[in-house]
Amino acid sequence: MATLACAVLTAVALGTAVPAMAAPAARSVAAAERASGRLPDLDPQILQRALSSAPDRVTGVLARVSGPDGRWAGTYGTGDIATGALVPVDGRFRLGSVTKTFIATVVLQLAAEHRVDLDQPVQRCLPNVLRGGYPPIPVRTLLNFTSSLPELTPDDLPTTPDGIVEHRFDDHPLAELVAKAVRHDRPFQEPGSMQVYGATGYYVAAMLVENLTGHTYQQEITNRILRPLNLRDTTAPETDTTIPGPHSHGYIAVPQPDGGTRLVDITEQNPGAGGMISTTADLDRFLTALFRGRLLPPAEQAELFTVPDVPYLGGSDSDPGHGRAYYGAGLMRATLPDGVTVWGKTGSTFGYTDGMFATRDLRRRLVYSFNPTNGGGNDLALVNRILSATFAS
């Protein structure tokens, strides 16, 4: 397959919205990560109540808690509204922006192999991708959301429920998405000077992987991560529109002439729209291997947890960084109200929202997925309840 012609995650999948996360406490991140001792005991009733706290906004919820400080797995709701089947505890789901963590890992592996320098401008490897007049965009800034690259707008891709249903099988190659995005104004001028969450940097990072290896980024993820870790229930599809194995269906509420809505099944969609597919068990294994250094040498692994000391564009005291950056290379950092710091990533695409989080020492890990009926996006209240029930119950 040609380097610039593979299917890719849509703007919804790689997302431009800031992930939902509880506002951090005033306690410093360093102090929280030095904290020792057990986390609060898991309370199955609190966890189950958290999963069932948004019955009007989701059709199904799935969560898995692992680690030396407690284990639990639970589900809520319906996996298939047509048959009434329950949510399968081992069900697969679309990852959306969690795919970014896999892409970041592959780019860092290529850096460890001296095939790319994180400080070099991406224009050296992709000379015809960014329009003339762009300043040098260091590769590292693609991964930590400080590249200054602009994002797609609602005028570039369908965002209404009717439009999402009609166009869910459309293919959007990487080059097309980047070309549409760079027509817009950049959010700030100097790369590396500010941070703002977005998708375009990761479209370019995926293109960089393809240019350097001669393979699609999905193939590189499969060969470098999925097979070595034996993640048998995780796939990085390029053309298959289905979800193999047990899974909950994804839905979107489409407005009707009578003022009501109708749930439309959008489980099947272009894999570009949903990115990778996985399970809670496989994501837990991936996160554990990543944190333990099985996938990256020490210098490159440190990039995951290195948060630039720069302002977050549009940030405030209520966000995870208190107005400052809170992303490393493919991971986000947040300190919960009780002072516990977690690292991980959220993701969302049509009909599916998920996330994976863990304490740095892996003593407690969380992977969740739910099926929102609003087409995708993080549900702040639901995510915060699941996080609090896991790490602060």
Q: Give dist(CA 151, CA 154) in Å, integer.
A: 10
Structure tokens at 303: 């990039």
Distances in Å between the Cα of 154 and the Cα atoms of 18, 158, 160, 166, 278 are 16, 7, 9, 15, 28
Residue type, 203: Y
Distance separating alpha carbons of residues 136 and 138, to the nearest angstrom: 6
d(CA 106, CA 127): 21
97 is catalytic: yes
Spell out the residues 6+ positions from residue 175 whose beta carbon is closer than 8 angstroms to its own.
Answer: 4, 5, 129, 207
Return d(Cα 232, Cα 278) in angstroms, integer. Answer: 9
- CB within 8 A of 236, min separation 6: which ones? 99, 102, 217, 218, 219, 221, 222, 226, 275, 276
Q: Which of 97, 147, 348, 369 is catalytic?
A: 97
**What size, in residues, is the chain?**
393
Q: Which two tokens stand for residue 144?
A: 């930590």
So which residues are the catalytic ones? Answer: 97
